[in-house]
Amino acid sequence: MAGKVIAVVQQKGGSGKTTIAVNLAVTFAGRGLSVALLDTDPQGSLGRWFMARRERLGAAGVEFSTSSAWGVSYECEKLRKTADIVIIDTPPKVDADLRPALREADLVLVPVASSHVDLWATEGVLDLARRERKRVTVVLNRARAGTRLGEEVAAAALAMEAGLAEAQLSNRVAFAETLGQGLGVDETGKSAARAEIRALADEVMALF
- Binding-site string for ligand ADP from residue 63 to residue 102, where x marks contact by CB under 6 A and - marks none: -----------------------------x----------
Q: Which amino acid appears at position 78 of this protein? A: K
User: Half-sphere exposure of 62 toward its Cβ, with a 13 Å CA cutoff?
Assistant: 33
Which of Mg ion, ligand ADP, none interacts with 179 (beta carbon under 5 to 8 A by kind)?
Answer: ligand ADP
Q: Which string of x and - marks every residue 18-57 that binds ligand ADP (by CB under 6 A)?
A: xx-------------------------x------------
* Alpha helix stretches (DSSP H) within the chain: 17-30, 45-57, 72-82, 99-104, 116-120, 122-131, 148-159, 173-181, 191-207
Q: Find the binder of Mg ion among 10, 11, 18, 122 (CB under 5 A).
A: 18
In Å, what is the CA distance from 63 to each residue of 15, 20, 148, 183, 186?
A: 24, 16, 40, 14, 17
Select from 3-11, 15-23, 108-116, 136-144 the region that touches Mg ion (CB under 5 A).
Answer: 15-23
Query: Among 87, 100, 175, 187, which residue interacts with ligand ADP (rule: CB under 6 A)?
Result: 175
Closest listed residue to residue 203, CA positions, set 15, 33, 28: 28
14 touching ligand ADP, by CB under 6 A = yes
CB 146 within 8 A of CB 112: no
- Which range in 10-18, 64-72, 96-104, 184-192 contacts ligand ADP by CB under 6 A? 10-18
For 170, counting Cβ atoms within 10 Å of its Cβ (0-12 exposed, 13-18 middle, 19+ buried), the class is middle
Question: Which lies closer to ligand ADP via its Cβ, residue 80 or residue 102?
Answer: 102
Q: Does 17 bind Mg ion (CB under 5 A)?
A: yes
d(CA 35, CA 5): 10
Residues forming the site for ligand ADP (CB under 6 A) = 10, 13-19, 45, 92, 141-142, 169, 171-172, 175-176, 179
